[in-house]
Structure 1
């Protein structure tokens, strides 16, 4: 017969797996990644109603927020209602720290996790490569976790695979044509105030492309920028994922206005074909619809070369700004970062073995 402490521990584990506690509070987590200096920190702070001045994110940073369940009314005779907790992780450095994406998401919390991809609309030549790199690495990690869960806990793995299709109605005409992301995904196009000044044809290509990518992955799409009022709809999507707030069913697909398309509300027929002539499309060799859209997009916005993507303006790399003590400290910090990544990876593997 199990001891009382063992029984309590089993109950606690069961509650954690359901994403809640005995009081009814739930825990969710979001990983923000995307374009370097694309506005991820600002979005997180505004979603948490914090008026702090954003600081550059150096590697992987963490914060959290709480929201009361239902109406936050407190009386002298009633205890304060439990608060849902949302964990916010942010990956800095654009695509330079891809390997860190695997640290926050574990086999224990994958069912309550969501991804928020922030893409800088003012840099269309970097947009596709940033999106592709980050989503590919993240998806590979998620697929590995789900495969391992399939061996140790097939019920949970099946549940995750079924949830992938939650945003898409079974009678949707594109149900058989899309490839949903393993966990909920929101794509945010930032710096809309700059993007809005682009030529109308450029805006059309970017809007259609992001609509296709979002729909293909079963993701929500929203554009944000200055003033902060443009963040309101992004907050709606994020609060839905983080705290279970009601899901918005409004939609805006006008390329002359900020896009707002919750997952499952768009369609390939409304998006239309890739923005290129039939003859041009016929000359392109592509393995998948996603690959075709990539080739059409990059014909208008050629991707930057790897050498161009390096931060050439970084004073630390410029010999004329060399300073021995500062450079030595920077080298030490770089070594500490590498050690941190190795330790995190090691801890990650140990956690998996223990679980």
Structure 2
């Protein structure tokens, strides 16, 4: 991929497409310091606000309608190429998970990271959101890494092997509980958002949520951080994790396992022995039928926080009527065409009615 020497979004997108068409774009993008980050999670969970704060952008936040793209740049040093992070944000909660096929392709799997934002103030929706979104990403990664997909995109045997290696990320031999984990195929960061509202929940409820997310993040060999856009200290820690995925910077050494405080856990610093057993008082764990440890924790968690039915599909707005995407000239032409269509329907109805009377 050619060296990017412009700040415009469209020229960067054009360069990205050219790199994909050449069939050798991934290695060149890695050499140029380019990474891809997919941000997804709870609907209205604060994904956009967190992203803007991590990029040091003072902008008004707008609801993410579907899948939005932006980018971040960071200078390595004086007169050196800048690192570029391609940032994709999926809106709509779990309802638009099919759109993960756009940012997850055979050519960028090796440079991809995932950030899952979960709204701590809505614990009844937390597990369902996490399960559906991570499942959708895993499914898409499997398709992107299949030999048929890589061959279709012009990847040779060497690149196919590299993609498969990325999908089956191997942990260090000294990684805690290494043989008991199911590592996520790509680097994963779980962010618990709205910690300020989370503190208003009862102590036992906070304990269940915190302990469960500790288990899930360790099970997937992921990092975990609780944050709030109202806290500069928490956002600073969150930004460190984000910068590590987007630009390869150090995550720092801060770790907090205290359930009474915001959790800050780097991948590999927790263990099942420290986490302990699932937090339950009303359910006999021995009576639960579970296929694996993750399924067991799910059953215990949902006994404390029964999953709520969501209507995200019905709540999605029509982009054509959303004011944040308004275009006066286009909207005026659309209104005119809508009127013409309605008139055509009325005339057609009269014609069919007349034809029926004649016959």
Normalised by the size of structure 1, how large is the TM-score? 0.77
Residue aligned with 2:237, SS: helix
CA contact (8 A) 2:84 2:247 kept: yes
Show structure 2 runs of 5+ residues with no match: 1-18, 320-330, 339-359
Is the 1:167–1:263 Cα contact (8 Å) retained in structure 2? no
Contact residue 283 and residue 303 of structure 2 kept, 8 A: no
2:50 maps to which of 43, 50, 61: 43
Aligned to 1:236: 240
Name the structure 2 match of 1:17: 27
Q: Contact (CA 8 Å) 1:125, 1:301: kept in 2 or not?
A: yes
1:59 equivalenced with 2:66 (yes/no): yes
* Shift in alpha-carbon separation, 1:236–1:15, aligned structure 2, 3 A: same
Superposed CA deviations along residues 308-335 of structure 1, whole A, max 9, x for unmatched, are x66779899xxxxxxxx99x97xx9xxx
1:68–1:82 CA contact under 8 A, matched in 2: yes
Residues 153-184 of structure 1: CA deviation (Å, up to 9, x unaligned):
45444444545676843123411101111111
8 Å Cα contact 1:252-1:258 kept in structure 2: yes
Give me the whole-angstrom Cα distance separating, in 2, the residues matched to 1:14 and 1:241: 23
What does 1:266-345 align with in structure 2 at a 5 Å threshold?
A: 266-277=270-281, 280-306=284-310
- Deviation of 1:256 after TM superposition, in Å, equals 1.2
Instruction: For residue 144 of structure 1, report the CA deviation from its aligned partner.
Output: 1.4
Shift of 1:214: 0.6
Match of 2:357 in 1: none
SS where residue 58 of structure 1 aligns? coil
Quote the residue 2:8 is aligned against. Answer: none
Which of 18, 21, 33 is the equivalent residue of 1:26? 33
Cα distance in 2 for residues equivalent to 1:280 and 1:310? 36
TM-score w.r.t. the length of structure 2 is 0.76
Instruction: Give 3-state SS (helix, strand or coil) of 1:291's partner.
Output: helix
The within-5 A match list for 1:246-265 is: 246-265=250-269
Residue 248 of structure 1: how far off its partner (Å)? 2.5
Q: 1:133 to 1:284 in 2, by over 3 A?
A: same
Residues in 2 aligned to 1:61 and 1:153: alpha-carbon distance in whole angstroms = 31
- Unmatched 5+ stretches in structure 1: 1-8, 74-79, 317-324, 333-355
- How many residues get paired? 300
Per-residue deviation, 1:231: 1.0
